[in-house]
Amino acid sequence: MRARERRKRLYSIILIPRVLKIRRYLKKYIRKEEGNVSVIVLTEHIGDIIACEPVSYWLKRTYQHKVVWLINEKYHELLLMFRNVDEIIDLSCLSEWVYLDKFTHLPHVYNLHFDGRQCSRFYLSNQSSQKHIGFENYYNYGCLLESFCMVGKLPRLNIRPQLFLVQHTLSFNYLLPDKYIVVHPQANDISRNWDIGKWNQLISSFPDFTFIEIGLSPVLSGKNCITSLCGKLTFQDIALVVKNCFLFIGIDSGMAHFANALGTPSLILLGKYGNFDKYMPYSGIFDIEDFRVIQYPDFVYDLPVSIVKEEADRFISALNAR
């Protein structure tokens, strides 16, 4: 594997022409704005990007700068829902940023990547001056937003992110139910997942509700659970489906960050994760009654159905009483 990584690192020189083109464009943009530009660098992933939306808000409010965000091109559409981002610059991978960082010395750059974060394509590693914060301890510093702010040498923000819908119908022909509950049962990391059998038990215990599963691939079943949208939704489709639902129930994932940023009533299932017996990914949720978190003291997989059903019952009753 090490020999393969070395070959990939050497092969990464094919990125240099594209990096130089990005560098020219960025410097031209900064000159046009007379230097009044703040550059955010965070290329992935969905949850991290949404969690850090308040950074763009804070920079714009504080400095009255144009805000540029450097991002992996596959997440470009997601940033279209960030009201305070003026310019999106697409990168093909993290290694492009590593080269750009070496070739370009610019003021007002806020690199939110952990030190040593490695590109999955060419294995080049990000360099950060905040070497004391990494994957093994970042939740010791607060929620995701607080940790990333510290990495970027920003004030520790704990503001709820905001996404703004830019489309009001799905990108394909499908009529959403009038009243439905969205569920997202699977994360990239299986240690965050709840048992699928328990999901099906929970859904079957609310037969009067229509459930819509979102995610890449359907895993749930039940007469009252729609799974046909899995793998079909764009980022803006996801925002629309989550924004208009009666309730969102999910594990810790990018979809839960969508729910938080859209102000959707949400019930999130958390347990142990990595080195963290207890952690909180979401910002701006304190004293918000509509964003509820079950923090189970063991792995979320072992969370009993009865606890989730009881909390869902209370939440649904409160929502129906309004």
Domain boundary among 151, 169, 192: 151
Do 142 and 238 have their domain in common? no
Do 184 and 130 have their domain in common? no
pLDDT reading at 4 higher than 80: no
Examine residue 201 and state whether it is found in any structural domain, yes or no: yes
pLDDT reading at 277 higher than 90: yes
Examine residue 174 and state whether it is found in any structural domain, yes or no: no
> 40 falls in which pLDDT band (50, 70, 90)?
very high
Do 124 and 245 have their domain in common? no
How is residue 143 written in tokens?
A: 């929620």
Do 203 and 70 have their domain in common? no
Contact status, residue 183 vs residue 255, Cβ threshold 8 Å: no
Number of structural domains found in the chain: 2
pLDDT greater at residue 9 or residue 262: 262
Examine residue 159 and state whether it is found in any structural domain, yes or no: no
Domain boundary among 131, 151, 171: 151
Examine residue 160 and state whether it is found in any structural domain, yes or no: no
- For 92, counting Cβ atoms within 10 Å of its Cβ (0-12 exposed, 13-18 middle, 19+ buried), the class is middle
Of 5-14, 79-88, 201-210, the one with minimum mean pLDDT is 5-14
Q: Which of 235, 222, 297 is nearest to 261 (CA)?
A: 235
3-state secondary structure at position 105: coil
Examine residue 171 and state whether it is found in any structural domain, yes or no: no
How is residue 272 written in tokens?
A: 């142990």
Examine residue 225 and state whether it is found in any structural domain, yes or no: yes
CA-to-CA distance for 292 and 318, rounded, in angstroms?
A: 12
How is residue 171 written in tokens?
A: 């990108």
Q: Quote the pTM value.
A: 0.96
CATH number at residue 304: 3.40.50.2000
pLDDT reading at 313 higher than 90: yes
Examine residue 90 and state whether it is found in any structural domain, yes or no: yes
Find how far residue 157's CA is from the centre of its chain.
16
**Axis crossing angle, helix 144-151 with helix 53-63, rounded to the nearest 10:** 50
Residues 138-182 have pLDDT tens digits of 999 999 999 999 999 999 999 999 999 998 999 999 999 999 999
CA-to-CA distance for 319 and 20, rounded, in angstroms?
A: 53
Task: Please report, as a single letter, which amino acid is at residue 295.
Answer: Q
pLDDT in the model for residue 52: 98
pLDDT in the model for residue 216: 95
Angle at 267 (CA atoms; ends 195, 113), nearest 5 degrees:
85
pLDDT reading at 305 higher than 90: yes
Do 188 and 127 have their domain in common? no
CA-to-CA distance for 29 and 51, rounded, in angstroms?
A: 26
Residues 95-105 have pLDDT tens digits of 999 999 998 88
Examine residue 315 and state whether it is found in any structural domain, yes or no: yes
CA-to-CA distance for 71 and 78, rounded, in angstroms?
A: 10
pLDDT reading at 1 higher than 60: no
Do 190 and 63 have their domain in common? no
Do 46 and 133 have their domain in common? yes
Mean pLDDT of the chain: 96
Do 206 and 147 have their domain in common? no
CATH number at residue 38: 3.40.50
Q: How many residues does the chain have?
A: 322
Do 118 and 215 have their domain in common? no
Do 227 and 101 have their domain in common? no
CA-to-CA distance for 108 and 194, rounded, in angstroms?
A: 41
CA-to-CA distance for 36 and 270, rounded, in angstroms?
A: 41
Do 239 and 278 have their domain in common? yes
Domain boundary among 151, 172, 193: 151
Domain that holds residue 36: 2-151
Residues 245-274 have pLDDT tens digits of 999 999 999 999 999 999 999 999 999 999
Do 15 and 89 have their domain in common? yes
